[in-house]
Amino acid sequence: MNIARGRFASAVTKLGPNNHTLFDTTCQPLMPEAEGFTCSEDGLSYTVSPTPQECGSDVVSDPWEWWAEHGSPRYALGPMAGCTAMPFRQLVRENGVGLTYVAMVSAGAVCYDEDTKNRMLADIDDTRDSPVLVQLVGNDPSEFAGAAATIPRDKVAGIDVNMGCSAAKAHKRAYGSKLMTEWPQVIKIMQALRECAIPITVKTRVFRSVERSVALCQLLVREGAVCLCVHGRFRDAGRTYSAPVEVDILRAIVQSVNVPVIVNGGVTSLQEADALIEKTGAAGVAVAHRMLANPALLNPTPPPPPALCQSYLAHALAYTTDVSGQRLYLNETKANVYRILRNTLKTRGLVEAVRKCESVPEIDSLLREEGVY
């Protein structure tokens, strides 16, 4: 079912398969006199708008025009940490992906650690990877602003705020999905980034309540988010990939905001990606960890793993001349090669040989000599 953008269905008391109060999916706009839900988090109350929330961005007048300027990407590589440097992003672009994220980086580290900042900047190049978003993680508004100030505006589509990481350390250190319950702090972060005059996007998750989920997403859009990427699993689900995706909540979020929404979670094939877009009415779908083992997951005519790995290493060979942190990058390359060629490497007894390689050219030479490609 396609749902027109920016139309918020009327609210009804109907229980869905997961015992959630759902929004009717008839796409009928709410009547002007309809009362919105009021939700509170960390001492801040927000009343859900009965009509789609308009964007409060100071630099993007129409989020849909911004989306179109970047090609209206249907498929995105979801943001991750330590595994999606530019060669991998180039690989997935060759296989159907239209939007990528620079690997998640700490806003504080960008501000205070020169090596981290330089690695991030070396990983941004609009001639090879565009459109791309830079995802920052943290909880300090001044650090978000400081990190954003280092990023070249003409080479990225925007800054993404990580409010989706559900790892235990994220909750302990009050970042990632922990920010979902700290609305006053989120507003400070969004306001700090708005002063940097760069488009802001947000990656987040859903609550167990559809009302709270919608309230949070409308709040983010009101504070300037031009695009949302919403993982359809609960914020307290941890790093599990087996929990069900809350399609009903995702659909309600899409209907409640007048900005592009990318939905995320549970996609294992191109058919499932298209089905999730169809069921939610989203502007696009993002796939993250499953793309690591299958970078051609969103390609209708995927090449075999050896060909994928050969293409990946070709990009990696061109990349190593201008990236800092060579050892860190080498470890990432080995990990990605193993994920793509896992069965082949195990069958041929090459896992240890790849692990011992001391450079990207050495990995490439080994796989050629062994006839992998």
Active site residues: 165
Residue 265 labelled as part of a binding site: yes
Residue 81 labelled as part of a binding site: yes
Contact 218, 46 (CB under 8 A): yes
Residue 356 labelled as part of a binding site: no
Angle, CA 52 vertex, CA 51 and CA 57 arms, to 5°: 130
Residue 80 labelled as part of a binding site: yes
Residue 192 labelled as part of a binding site: no
- The span from the CA of 179 to the CA of 183, in Å, is 7
What are the backbone dihedrals phi and psi of residue 350, each rounded to the nearest 5 degrees, phi first?
-110, 5
Total Cβ atoms within 10 A of residue 18: 13
- The span from the CA of 47 to the CA of 67, in Å, is 27
Closest CA to 76 of 290, 356, 246: 290
- The span from the CA of 217 to the CA of 204, in Å, is 9
- The span from the CA of 82 to the CA of 60, in Å, is 30
Residue 97 — left, alpha, or beta (φ > 0 → left; ψ -120 to 50 → alpha)?
Answer: beta
Residue 117 labelled as part of a binding site: no
For residue 34, the SS3 value is: coil
For residue 281, the SS3 value is: coil
What are the backbone dihedrals phi and psi of residue 334, each rounded to the nearest 5 degrees, phi first?
-60, -45
Residue 203 labelled as part of a binding site: yes
Q: Kindly state the DSSP code that residue 78 receives in the 8-state scheme.
A: P
Contact 49, 253 (CB under 8 A): no
Greatest distance between any 2 Cα atoms in the chain: 72
Binding residue ranges: 79-81, 135, 203, 231, 264-266
Binding residue ranges for FMN: 79-81, 135, 203, 231, 264-266
